Amino acid sequence: MTTDTTHNTAPSHGTDHAVEHGMSTRGYINIALILAAITALEVSTYYVDFGPLFLPSLLIMMVVKFFMVVSYFMHLKFDNKLFSWLFYAGLFLAVGVYVAALATFHFFLR
Amino acid sequence: MAIIERPAPGTTVPALTPAAPAITPSRTYGALRRPVATTGWKSWLFTVDHKKLGLMYGATALFFFIVGGLEAVLIRLQLAAPDGKVLNADLYNQMFTMHATTMVFLFVMPMAAGFANYFVPLQIGARDVAFPRINAFGFWCLLAGGIVVNLAWFLGGAADGGWFMYAPNSGPVFSPSKGVDFWTLGLQIAGIASLTGAINLIVTVLNMRAPGMTLMKMPVFTWMITVVQFLLLFAVPVITVALFLLTFQRSFGAQFFDVAAGADPLLWQHLFWIFGHPEVYILILPSFGIISEVLPVFSRKPLFGYPFVVFSGAAIGFVGWGVWAHHMFASGLGPVSVAVFSLATMAIAVPTGVKIINWTLTMWGGKLVFTTAMKFAIGLVVLFTIGGLSGVTHSVAPSDTQQTDTYYIVAHFHYVLFGGAIFGIFSGFYYWWPKMFGKMLNERLGSWNFWLMVIGMNMTFGPMHILGLQGQPRRMYVWTEARAGEGFFNLGFWNLIASIGSLILTVGIGLFLINIVVTARSKVRAPLDPWNARSLEWMTSNPPKEHNFDSIPHVHHLDEFFHRKYEEDPTTHTMREVASAEDVLAELERNADKHIHMPSPSYWPLVLACGMPFVALGIIYSIPVAIAGGLIMLYALYGWALEPATAPESDFDAPSSNGHAVGASHG
Amino acid sequence: MLRPATVMRLGHHMADTATHEAHVTSTGLSNVKLGMWLFLGSECLLFGGLISTYMLYRGRVSNGPTPEQIYDIPFTSVSSFVLLMSSLTMVLAVAAAHKKDDRGTNLWLTVTALLGATFVGGQVYEFTAFYNEGLGFTTSLFGSSFYTLTGFHGVHVTVGIIMLIALVAINKRSRVPGSKSETVEMIGLYWHFVDIVWIIIFTLVYLIPV
């Protein structure tokens, strides 16, 4: 709206800046290489016996990959915090309610 | 882009003047030309105006309210006497299922969506919502969903599994009619309306507030609607999953709830109630918001403890996610789960209690004006408190085990939903009617409307506490004299009272419908500011102009409108009137914005939504129909994507001197 | 003559798809981007429900094959890797769009769509192979929940591919370089989301045995 010149709740740098200040092409490729390496490590658990570390290491690698894509490729790390709040609200709510629901099935005791 | 000059100040532009369509798009985008009608039915069908859509939501909801109400009356007639003959068992199952489904999904939710659509942009000083076309799409989805759910009545019987449609009872073995299929697919479509509406309204509230309107200067109604939209945003996908699983089981042979194959029937219950408990706050919080507007206005005092009301509303929304399993205490969750959910449920009474106290203290010492809107608001405070107290008794798991599936539960949720949500909605009707239609609802009829509803509602639902504690189960289509009991606790007596109450309730609501007709026929226009109101939506004409505000107000206070009318006298420390509502509006008009651009109407929301019922019917009857529906939707998406968000100059003919389009023939 | 207020809706201003014009909003953030993040937050609950259903039912195989018997980890690892790399090409498309480099944008969008199509093709192959090995949609709870979860994900990827191709087509018609940069960014967010869902599915569904 042409007349809507409002800036009341902590105006941030606009979206374009966030992206431009995000990362270089080189940076993106580095992230992708790290992601590829972690994936290779994940797949290796199928061939190599990790013993008791198997489950925790897989879950940790999954979480690391997840947040690397969210933070760097989706720019949440550089973007306005409001975006993070909105997305993580849904994410953690989902984790919370579904883990609780599975717990009532004694899923984690099996 | 067409730049439209405002008329010189002083030449008033009546709000909804039928005007000649002065400009016609000369270029075709996508597949169809832009709709141009500004009056008549086409202007409603293709509108993206949040106010028109709000009214369309409201009218649709009111229609379904009547449908759901008639279903309720049939239920009460059946139960009025022992061995009722009005309905057979099968029809009775359909009746209570559809009564609840209609009231929850097709009346209270869309009515709240209607109020939200109409008033949230006005209350935050905006000219429309963030995504006007998506807004229109949401409404058409709701209508399509409502039609699909009810279509089953005419095609072999409606859904009959209860509104929470527990599996495996809702599976193909125990519910062989197509009713459940219509129910799942219809609600799926209506869910799209809720989801798109949620995204739209949240972005609107975050991004389109007038200058100076910080979050903590927003009216409580807007706040509560915002909380509700977050609940919808996160709750709707959960029911979406559940409905998909059920559809896949019923239509494509998946095994999700097939106990013989090893399925866990509690999966449905969890998914349903993870959605279902936030849902009950989705139903009640809009009404909490409405009376938080009404009580201060008619107490002639600001709302007591505004931040507490806001934060307790948000707290209800948050804690509401951690209590769903209290609907499942009797399902054998195990002691730890029951204890955890029991505690969480008791905790959620606290923020609700905070609100009750704040409303009471708002009225305390105020100059109460007992308009119909105020009566309904006070009615909500009292009746919801009763329902809240019986709710606390449910949080005590051992007591709840006794009450599960009895009329005591029915009594509880009707006190909170009828006494709460619906009384709030009626309060909103009487309060905002002059804003929406420029005429006041008749107060005399309103008073009768209110008192008959209070008496009817207490007569209908009050005795259900006794019936429930005496052990009358929900969803039984008959009760017998032999097991009715003796004396004061005789089921026959209280069932009869409840049924008479439901007829009184019907008369009360009938008076409201009569009131609508009487008001529509009346020639008396409402004054500009009939209630001496406080918030921004009243800083517009009645009804508001299409662009809402001539100039976007700069907000300095909570209750900005009030503070423009009244200032504190430094000597006496009382508020004195410094400007009338007319003065405030004239001021806005003097500073009217030169260029006001409003979003264009569009065909695509309607066309896109039209494809959906075909997909649903196709899944039920034959896949080619679903493919046809899918093609309609693809076509609509194609048109939608190619219709530019900002129409270029070349899309419009040059205006001629007489205001009519020239050269409309080319292109 | 001055036109009355009622025709103003024809001037299409409050954009409801791509708002590349600098609109000043209360938060200073773009409407579509806020809307997209809200949508993705909501999608977490959708996939959460589907993943939970799978986790609950993955061991319930009736007379059908078990996950261990049919999963082809090397094959799925390759297709997972392809999808992961499509996130890189997507982010390069977004970067190119912000530099108003339409050629680069279209190139990377096309590559992303191709990688996505490779993934979906792999999924079709996988489904066919599983079906031939005796795991139908109706065979067991494991079958129903596996196909539902991965099928929903596959549909999301397919929708993404359609959006990418449509975007390239629209971009080619556009005369203003970089005019679709925000749309590219939005589709990028969607695409990455679909990728992170697969990151979870790959670990929870394929790598962790029952």
- pLDDT category of residue B31 using cuts at 50, 70 and 90: low
List chain C domain ranges: 36-207
- In a mutational test of the B interface, the residue from A1, A80, A81 whose CB has the highest number of chain B CBs within 10 Å is A1
- pLDDT category of residue B640 using cuts at 50, 70 and 90: confident
Tell me the residues of chain C between 78 and 117 that have a Cβ less than 8 Å away from chain B.
none
- In a mutational test of the C interface, the residue from B199, B275, B277, B657 whose CB has the highest number of chain C CBs within 10 Å is B199
Residue B426 distance to chain C (closest CA, Å): 31
pLDDT over threshold 90, residue B4: no
Answer whether A5 sits within 8 Å of B266, measured CB to CB.
no
In a domain, B81, yes or no: yes
Average pLDDT over residues B589-602: 84
pLDDT for B97-120, tens place per residue?
999 999 999 999 999 999 999 999
3-state secondary structure of C205: helix
Give the CATH number for residue B56: 1.20.210.10
Local structure of residue B543 (DSSP, 8 states): S
pLDDT over threshold 60, residue B380: yes
pLDDT at residue number B599: 82
pLDDT at residue number C58: 93
| Segment among A47-51, A54-58, B307-311, C125-129 with least mean pLDDT | A47-51
- pLDDT category of residue B651 using cuts at 50, 70 and 90: low
pLDDT over threshold 50, residue B628: yes
From CA B616, how far away is CA B182, in angstroms rounded?
Answer: 8
pLDDT at residue number C97: 92
Which of the pair, B43 or C7, is modelled with greater confidence?
Answer: B43
Q: Is C26 part of the contact surface with chain B (CB cutoff 8 Å)?
A: yes
- pLDDT category of residue C174 using cuts at 50, 70 and 90: confident
What lies within 8 Å, CB to CB, of C117 at 6+ separation is: C161
Answer whether B211 sits within 8 Å of A1, measured CB to CB.
no
From CA B436, how far away is CA B457, in angstroms rounded?
Answer: 28
pLDDT over threshold 80, residue B653: no
| Segment among B59-63, B482-486, C71-75 with least mean pLDDT | B482-486
Residue B547 distance to chain A (closest CA, Å): 11
| Segment among A29-43, B475-489, B645-659, C25-39 with least mean pLDDT | B645-659
Answer whether B209 sits within 8 Å of A6, measured CB to CB.
yes
Nearest CB neighbour to C6, from listed B198, B262, B546: B546
- pLDDT category of residue B5 using cuts at 50, 70 and 90: very low
Which residues from chain A sit within 8 angstroms of residue B210, using beta carbons?
4, 6
From CA A63, how far away is CA A60, in angstroms rounded?
Answer: 5
Which residues from chain A sit within 8 angstroms of residue C199, using beta carbons?
62, 65-66, 69
Neighbours of chain B (3+ CB pairs under 8 A): A, C
pLDDT at residue number A110: 65
From CA B598, how far away is CA B127, in angstroms rounded?
Answer: 8
| Percent of chain B at pLDDT exceeding 70 | 91
Which of the pair, A110 or B250, is modelled with greater confidence?
Answer: B250
| Percent of chain B at pLDDT exceeding 90 | 80
DSSP-H helix ranges across C133-180: 141-173
pLDDT for B523-582, tens place per residue?
999 999 999 999 999 999 999 998 999 999 999 999 999 999 999 888 888 889 999 999
Nearest CB neighbour to A28, from listed C45, C88, C193: C88
Write the single-letter amino acid at A43.
V
Answer whether C196 sits within 8 Å of A66, measured CB to CB.
yes
Answer whether B647 sits within 8 Å of C8, measured CB to CB.
no
Q: For strand B575-577 and strand B566-568, is the pairing parallel, antiparallel, or unpaired?
A: antiparallel
pLDDT at residue number B3: 33
- b/e sequence B164-178, b meaning 16+ C-beta within 10 Å: bbbbbbbbbeebebb
| Segment among B10-19, C147-156, C169-178 with least mean pLDDT | B10-19
Cβ neighbours of B146 (radius 10 Å)? 26
Average pLDDT over residues A33-41: 95
Nearest CB neighbour to A4, from listed B234, B322, B552: B552
What lies within 8 Å, CB to CB, of B536 at 6+ separation is: B122, B123, B124, B125, B210, B213, B219, B553, B555, B560, B561
- pLDDT category of residue C96 using cuts at 50, 70 and 90: very high
- Taking only Cα atoms into account, the Rg of chain C, rounded to an integer number of angstroms, comes to 21
pLDDT at residue number C83: 96
pLDDT at residue number B36: 65
From CA B260, how far away is CA B250, in angstroms rounded?
Answer: 15
Nearest CB neighbour to A94, from listed C26, C45, C90: C45
Number of structural domains in chain B: 1
| Segment among B496-505, C20-29, C105-114, C176-185 with least mean pLDDT | C20-29
pLDDT over threshold 70, residue B207: yes
Average pLDDT over residues B271-292: 96
- pLDDT category of residue B12 using cuts at 50, 70 and 90: very low
Answer whether C26 sits within 8 Å of B547, measured CB to CB.
no
Return the beta strands (E) in B107-245 as ranges: none
| Segment among A30-39, A49-58, B3-12, B203-212 with least mean pLDDT | B3-12
- pLDDT category of residue A10 using cuts at 50, 70 and 90: very low
pLDDT at residue number A22: 65
Residue B474's domain comprises 50-592
Average pLDDT over residues C120-149: 96
In the A/B pair of chains, how many CB contacts fall below 8 A? 60
| Percent of chain C at pLDDT exceeding 90 | 76
pLDDT at residue number C13: 37
Answer whether C91 sits within 8 Å of A1, measured CB to CB.
no
Answer whether A2 sits within 8 Å of B596, measured CB to CB.
yes
Q: Is B489 part of the contact surface with chain A (CB cutoff 8 Å)?
A: no
pLDDT for B423-436, tens place per residue?
999 999 999 999 99
Answer whether B17 sits within 8 Å of C6, measured CB to CB.
yes
- B574-578, long-range: CB within 8 Å, 24+ apart, which pairs? none
In a domain, B493, yes or no: yes
In a domain, B599, yes or no: no
Q: Please determine, for the modelled complex, whether the ipTM score is greater than 0.85.
A: yes
Which residues from chain C sit within 8 angstroms of residue B545, using beta carbons?
5
DSSP-H helix ranges across B364-490: 372-395, 397-403, 407-416, 423-437, 443-469
pLDDT over threshold 80, residue A6: no
Nearest CB neighbour to A5, from listed B211, B264, B322: B211
Average pLDDT over residues C127-155: 96
- Nearest 5°: the CA angle B189, B413, B182 is 25
**What's chain B's average pLDDT?**
89
Chain A residue closest in CA terms to B553 = A4
Which residues from chain A sit within 8 angstroms of residue C24, using beta carbons?
4-7
Write out the two tokens for B312. 């307790």
**What's chain A's average pLDDT?**
83
Write the single-letter amino acid at B468.
G
pLDDT over threshold 90, residue A41: yes
pLDDT for A94-107, tens place per residue?
999 999 999 998 88
pLDDT at residue number B482: 86
- pLDDT category of residue B33 using cuts at 50, 70 and 90: low
Residue A98 distance to chain B (closest CA, Å): 9
pLDDT over threshold 90, residue C172: no
Q: How does DSSP assign A42-68, residue by residue?
A: HHHTTTS--GGGHHHHHHHHHHHHHHH
pLDDT at residue number B24: 44
Helix B109-123 with B179-207: angle, nearest 10 deg: 10
- pLDDT category of residue B646 using cuts at 50, 70 and 90: low
Which residues from chain C sit within 8 angstroms of residue A45, using beta carbons?
207
From CA B512, how far away is CA B514, in angstroms rounded?
Answer: 5
Q: Is A109 part of the contact surface with chain C (CB cutoff 8 Å)?
A: no
| Segment among B271-285, B521-535, B605-619, C177-191 with least mean pLDDT | C177-191
- CATH topology for C36-207 is Four Helix Bundle (Hemerythrin (Met), subunit A) (1.20.120)
In a domain, B221, yes or no: yes
Chain C residue closest in CA terms to A17 = C98
Answer whether B325 sits within 8 Å of A2, measured CB to CB.
no
